Amino acid sequence: MTDSLLDALVDICGPDFARPARSVDQVGGRRAGYVAVPATGRAAAATLRLAAERGLSVRARGSGSKIDWGTPPAGLDIIVDTGRLNGMWNHHGPTAVVAAGTPVSAVQAALALQGRRLAVDPPSPTATIGGMLAVNEAGPLAHRFGSPADQTQAVTYAEASGAEWESDGEDGRPGIAEIEGVITSAVLRVHPLPSARRWVGRAVTTPAGVAELVEQAVAQDLEPSAIEVDLPGVAEGTVAVLLEGDAESVTGRSAKLAQVWGAEAVLAEQGPPWWGRYPFGSGDVAVRISVRPEGLRPVTYALRDLCGAPVPLRGSAGLGVVHAVLPSGLPAWRVTEIVGGVEQVLLARGGKIVLVSAPEGLAAQLEMAEPRDLF
């Protein structure tokens, strides 16, 4: 069967683009059987159809930056690598069509030559369009423009059965969160590239201080593109606001905020080193918390109390969507206890906490996030 499966994958993808998996071809510590690298949406659909006919499990892979997020797979027969689904077309109007395996950075570089951009900035440096959309990976710009799913007009995808579809999420068609299969391309909104950007930051030490600075920034009606917070846990943190637009407007708005924040405010032409980056690595236990912005303060204090010490936390203070890193070395029952305690605080505030990432052995013992939990 294995030889016939490889032969079938070669027939679909080509002799150099289907192979037995290597040691690096893993998801959540489980090694795949084979890797298929289709060049077209039709070939991706044919690969999924083959897998469905043989009862095989499949996982899509872009750059692999988030492939270990969430629930580890129970089985992994084939990895569908989207690296050859690459390119952008029909990009001179208000939207662009982008193949799923295209790196977000490559799209931004190409559009910048036209003075335009996608209003997305996923924290994973190597993120592809498909990987970003699969988990709705939002960065700081989501404060003004919404999540990547909000910026998507339509997607084409191959569902698990191998059928090819296009969906705009309307009239009963599935939204991105409901798609089970492989996204092959997306129609994304394109925006003008701002002529000026400026960050205004101020040091902060407590969640209460974060709330005060955010309230002051919001009250000024500055039309910020992002309001982010970084609380390292053991050191002084920062609240930073990104202002974009024409140079005169940005200069005026940033000066206004700096005046409100006082002498400790810092103006910069570039974001701080932590801007648009996750506070966790592959070996950390990381949670994603989403709540109304005013709910961040009590939730952050609750998380500190449950963990016994302040923990690193970073994300959108303006939207109330942040990631936090739990102490290392905790057993599964203790992680579950902490998450459950935060859930109780979030319950009355309409918020949610999910486990995004954990070491391989630990993740298998925890209730990890599903992709739909990130939308």
Q: What is the pLDDT of residues 229-255, one digit of tens each?
A: 999 988 899 999 999 999 999 999 999
Given a cut of 80, whether residue 3 has pLDDT beyond it is: no
Cα(14)–Cα(120) distance, integer angstroms:
33
Return the CATH class of domain 196-268. alpha beta
Return the CATH class of domain 2-81. alpha beta
Q: What is the pLDDT of residues 136-194, one digit of tens each?
A: 999 999 999 999 999 999 999 999 999 999 998 877 677 899 999 999 999 999 999 99
On whether the pTM is more than 0.85, the answer is yes
Nearest-CA neighbor of 137 among 308, 341, 129, 22? 129
Nearest-CA neighbor of 292 among 200, 201, 218, 224? 218
Query: Is it true that 196-268 and 286-374 share their CATH fold?
Result: yes
- When the candidates are 3.30.420.10, 3.30.465.10, 3.40.50.300, 2.40.50.100, the CATH number that belongs to 88-192 is 3.30.465.10
pLDDT > 90: percent of the chain: 95
Check residue 158 and give its pLDDT. 97
Given a cut of 60, whether residue 1 has pLDDT beyond it is: no
* CB-based contacts of 24, cutoff 8 Å, min separation 6: none
Check residue 70 and give its pLDDT. 93
Edge-to-edge order in the sheet of strand 321-325: 266-268, 196-204, 237-245, 226-231, 313-316, 321-325, 286-290, 352-357
* CB-based contacts of 254, cutoff 8 Å, min separation 6: 198, 200, 243, 267
286-374 maps to which CATH number? 3.30.70.2740
- CA 286 to chain CA mean position, Å: 13
Is residue 297 within 8 Å of 207, Cβ to Cβ?
Answer: yes
Averaged pLDDT of the chain: 96
Question: Which amino acid type is present at position 140?
Answer: P
Q: Cβ atoms within 10 A of the Cβ of 15, count?
A: 8
Domain boundaries, the chain: 2-81, 88-192, 196-268, 286-374
Cα(100)–Cα(46) distance, integer angstroms:
16
Q: What is the pLDDT of residues 122-133, one digit of tens each?
A: 999 999 999 999
Is residue 288 within 8 Å of 361, Cβ to Cβ?
Answer: no
- CA 36 to chain CA mean position, Å: 24
